[in-house]
Amino acid sequence: GENVEQHPSTLSVQEGDSAVIKCTYSDSASNYFPWYKQELGKGPQLIIDIRSNVGEKKDQRIAVTLNKTAKHFSLHITETQPEDSAVYFCAASRSNDYKLSFGAGTTVTVRA
């Protein structure tokens, strides 16, 4: 089955700086890569996703890049703000499969 590895496990950044989280996956047939944000006391919520037919996708301060050859994808948060502090999860799945394989999560802390 799919194995998703996520790094780093914790990340502390100064407000206004950028944050980058990286994930690798093992199944070359995976072609859907979502990112979820989990705030304290809440369930994860989708913030951005990318499919294998594109290499990059951007939504305001967040962007995701995908390298299918190397089987890795990354989340980039620019101009970080205190409300970006949360746990972030990457995930991967095949197009005909609703099951997601999640990474272990990254706890991001934005220092004021």
Partner 1 sequence: DVKVTQSSRYLVKRTGEKVFLECVQDMDHENMFWYRQDPGLGLRLIYFSYDVKMKEKGDIPEGYSVSREKKERFSLILESASTNQTSMYLCASASQSNEQFFGPGTRLTVL
Does residue 3 touch partner 1 according to CB under 8 A? no
Name residue 36's beta-bridge partners. 46, 89
Strand, coil or helix: 102: strand
User: Is 7 near partner 1 (CB under 8 A)?
Assistant: no
| 2 vs 71 by CB, closer to partner 1 | 2
Q: Stretches 13-21, 30-38, 57-65, 71-79: which one binds partner 1 (CB under 8 A)?
A: 30-38
What is the Cα Rg of the chain in Å?
13
Q: How many residues bind partner 1 (CB under 8 A)?
A: 23
Give the residue from 49, 44, 93, 111 showing the smallest Cα distance to 75: 49
| Shorter beta-carbon distance to partner 1: residue 49 or 78 | 49
Q: Please pick, from the candidates 14, 28, 98, 112, the single residue that binds partner 1 as defined by CB under 8 A.
A: 98
**Residue 34 within binding range of partner 1, rule CB under 8 A:** yes
Would you count residue 92 as binding partner 1 (CB under 8 A)? no
Tell me: does residue 30 bind partner 1 (CB under 8 A).
no
Q: Should residue 6 be labelled a site residue for partner 1 when binding is judged by CB under 8 A? A: yes
Nearest to 110 by CA among 19, 9, 49: 19
Q: Mention every residue, 6+ apart, whose C-beta is less than 8 A from residue 110.
A: 13, 14, 15, 19, 80, 81, 82, 84, 85
